[in-house]
Amino acid sequence: MARFPRSALTALVLCGGLLGPVASPARGEVCAVDDTDREVCLAAPARRIAALSPGATELVYAAGAGERVVAVVAYSDYPPEAREVASVGSHTRVDLERLVALRPELVIGWVTGNPAEQLERIEALGVPVFYIEPRSFEGVASAIERLARLAGTRVAGDAEAERFRQGMAALAERYAEAAPVPVFYQVWDEPLMTINDDHLIGQVLNLCGGVNVFGDLERLVPRLDEEAVLAADPEAILAGGMGEENRDWLTHWERYPELTAVDRDNLFFVPPSLIQRPTPRLLEGSRLFCEKLDRARERRGEQGS
C-alpha cells in the first residue's frame, strides 16, 4: 500500500508518543487501561484534553481536569463551563482539522459513539486516544479515577469517584429490601424505545427496587409497540422527553386509563440528562428514580384504603 509521505517531524512526534515512555521511563509517566482493555501511557499528565462526547466531557470535569479540556463536541452542556470550550463538531463526525489545531495531548473517545476510522486517524497523527464507555456504576467510578490518573488530578478525581461509589452503595443498601415495582422506562417515543436489564438505566431501575417489565428482552435498547406496553401493564411509567421539562410523552399514555400506571397517576418525568449519561450525575438521577418508585409504593396504600 502506498502511504502518504509524512513530514519528518510528525514521524518524530509519532515515535516519541509510542516509544518514548518505553525507551526512557520518564518520572512523570502516567498509564491507565481504557474500556477497550488497551493501556494508554503518557510521558507526563495531559495538559490539553479533547473530549469527543458529552459524557466524556462530564467525566473529565468530574475527574477534576476541567481546566485542561481544550475541545468538546456538540451538546457538551454540562458542567456549564463546558459550553465555553471550543467545539470540534459532533460526536458522529469530528472536524479533525480543528481538533489537531487545538493540539490536544490526549483524546477521550467513545467506543461505539465516535466513528472508528476517525479515532484511528487521530492515533495515526500521534495523539493518544483513551476509549471510554462505562456500562456499570463501577465503570463510571473507575472511568473518573482513570481519567484523573492521566490528567494528574488524582486527589480530586479519586474523591469524586468515591463520593459517587458511596452514594450508589447507600441507595443500593436502602432499597435492597424494597417492595418490587413493575416499571416501564421510555427512552424515546417514535419509535417507542425502552432499555433492558443490562443497560445502565436498567441497572438503576433494579437498584431502586423496580422491575423492568421489558428487562428480559435481548436487545440493549429494544423498540416496542404500544400494545406491548399495554400487555405488560406496568405499575409506573418513567420517561425522559425532548428537553429537560417536556412531559408530552407521559400525557400520551393518559388515553389508556386501564393502565395501572395511569389509574394511579404513576407517570413520572425524569430529566434525561440525569439518567441517560454515564456520569456522576447518574447518582442524582438514581435518587430521583428511587423517589418516584417510593411514591408509586405509597399510592398502593391509598388504593387499598
Partner 1 sequence: MIPMIRPLGALALAALAALALSVALGSVTLPPEEILAALGGRGEALSRTLILELRLPRSLAAFAVGGLLAVAGALMQVLLRNPLADPYVLGLSGGASVGALLAMLAGFGSVLVSGSAFVGALVSTLLVFGLAHGHGGWTPARLLLTGVVVAAGWGAVITLMLAVSPAQRLPGMLYWLMGDLSHAGTPWPLLALLLLVCLLVVPLGRSLNVLARGPLQAAALGVAVRRLEWTLYLAASLLTAAAVTGAGSIGFVGLVVPHMLRLVLGNDQRLILPACALAGGTLLLLADTLARTLIAPEQLPVGVITALLGVPTFLFLLYRGQ
Q: Which residues are near partner 1 by CB under 8 A?
A: 1-7, 9-10, 13, 74, 87-90, 92-98, 100-101, 103, 112-113, 115-118, 120, 125, 193, 219-221, 223
Torsion over CA: 195, 200, 201, 206 (sign): positive
Q: For residues 31 and 124, which CB has a smaller minimum distance to partner 1 in the complex?
A: 124
The DSSP call for residue 4 is P
Find the shortest distance in angstroms from Cβ 56 to partner 1. Answer: 14
Q: Please, what is the Cα angle at 14 between 58 and 60, to 5 degrees?
A: 10
> What is the CA 9 to chain-centroid distance, rounded?
37
> What is the CA 53 to chain-centroid distance, rounded?
9
Quote the cell numbers at residue 196: 433492558
Find the shortest distance in angstroms from Cβ 113 to partner 1. Answer: 5
Find the shortest distance in angstroms from Cβ 88 to partner 1. Answer: 5
Q: For residues 164 and 249, which CB has a smaller minimum distance to partner 1 in the complex?
A: 249
Q: For residues 83 and 219, which CB has a smaller minimum distance to partner 1 in the complex?
A: 219
Quote the cell numbers at residue 26: 520518564
Torsion over CA: 147, 168, 243, 110 (sign): positive
Helical (H) or strand (E) element with 211: strand 210-212
Q: For residues 153 and 212, which CB has a smaller minimum distance to partner 1 in the complex?
A: 212
**CB within 8 Å of 221: residues ≥ 6 apart:** 187, 193, 194, 195, 196, 199
| Rg, C-alpha atoms of the chain | 22
Q: For residues 113 and 167, which CB has a smaller minimum distance to partner 1 in the complex?
A: 113
Task: Give which of 186, 286, 177, 176 is closest to 236, Cα–Cα.
Answer: 186
The DSSP call for residue 239 is E
Spatial distance between the Cα atoms of 244 and 91, rounded to a whole number of angstroms: 21
Residue type, 186: Q
Find the shortest distance in angstroms from Cβ 209 to partner 1. Answer: 27
Find the shortest distance in angstroms from Cβ 301 to partner 1. Answer: 38
Q: For residues 87 and 206, which CB has a smaller minimum distance to partner 1 in the complex?
A: 87
Q: For residues 15 and 31, which CB has a smaller minimum distance to partner 1 in the complex?
A: 15
Find the shortest distance in angstroms from Cβ 22 to partner 1. Answer: 22
Quote the cell numbers at residue 187: 427512552
Find the shortest distance in angstroms from Cβ 38 to partner 1. Answer: 13
